[in-house]
Homo-oligomer: A and B are copies of this chain.
Amino acid sequence: MPQIQVGVLGATGAVGQRFCQLLEGHPWFEVAALAASERSAGKHYQDAVDWRLSTPIPEGLRELRIIPTRADDMPKDVKIVFSSLPADIAAQVEAEYAREGFVVSSNAASYRMFDDVPLLIPEVNKEHAKLIPLQRDQRGWDGCIVTNPNCSTIMLAMTLKPLMGLGLTDVKVATLQAVSGAGYTGVSSMAILDNVVPYIGGEEEKMQNEPPKLLGTFNGERIINADITVSAICNRVPVIDGHTESVWVDVVASPEQVKEAMASLEPLIGLPFSPKRPIVVRDEDDRPQPRLDRDVNHGMTVSVGRVRRDVVKGIKYTLLGHNTVRGAAGASILNAEMLADAGYLT
């Protein structure tokens, strides 16, 4: 695979920083451009960013000059742009990039639910990428937009996929979400120290709406949604990184069958960001835990534990994933790897 030049939109934000961190030393992708708001444009990255990760700013990016967010300003040898733009800005800017021929791998919510836009998790529904030719055709774009789901949905959907063959119908999920999901200034310390906030704006809707599409099947023309219902209650807890989810699923299967099915979810051989085991199932009573398990396989593996029979029927379990890696930047990178590998780059 020859080196592919990539750009990052929203490069100074919390997820933008994760993109920069995770792409350092990537075997296929080289960060050639960082875009951010007008206020930052023209500055060296290290002067514009309030870097908040525990590894240093990648050497090669420190003195890269930030460019504006417009597609016009993006160098033409860049093939892929990663977007962590706010949803309202993403709606316009991502289309502009796709029109100009870029492959946009987006973490933003704007295009997730459009019929012709893949909502992708490679281990779950890689065949949904086949929407791309339709999208290009329909919109007259040379490039394209692919999206990854909302952070808490990704982890959930990865554990639901193996249950589709076990009669899955209803899902109930209560989340305990980390503060990093809201961005660097999203949750004030006075809001969350010694506290829980039982509400995250828009999050329950995303968790309820995205899984039927994600777990749906591509019939050659469009996605037929999966016939499942998800009901979510979302909470914020004083944890830096790592979303925990308490899950009930209506399936016709024993705990052993569920564990076996989850542990067997297939990785994508050959993609650098594909963890060799997408799901690790643990047997200890008190795992998974965010501080201990969020970094398994560099944050790309989802940990599952406490799989057991529910009171009357069905199964309950707990899952844990790194929200800004598997749930955001790492998810977009894995999507881009899959597209590169499958020949979708123009």
Contact = CB atoms under 8 A, between A and B. Distances in A.
Interface stretch (A82-90, A137-145, A263-271, A283-291): A283-291
Interface in A234-279: 235, 237-240, 244, 246, 248
B198 A288 contact: yes
B179 A190 contact: yes
Contacts of A288: 198
Contacts of A53: 292
B233 A194 contact: no
A196 B170 CA distance: 25
Interface residues of A, number: 60
B199 A286 contact: yes
B285 A240 contact: no
Interface in A198-240: 198-199, 201, 208, 229-231, 233, 235, 237-240
24 contacts: A52-B292, A54-B291, A176-B176, A179-B189, A180-B190, A184-B188, A185-B185, A187-B188, A187-B189, A189-B191, A189-B238, A193-B193, A193-B240, A196-B239, A197-B286, A198-B246, A198-B287, A199-B285, A230-B311, A233-B306, A235-B246, A235-B318, A238-B238, A246-B246
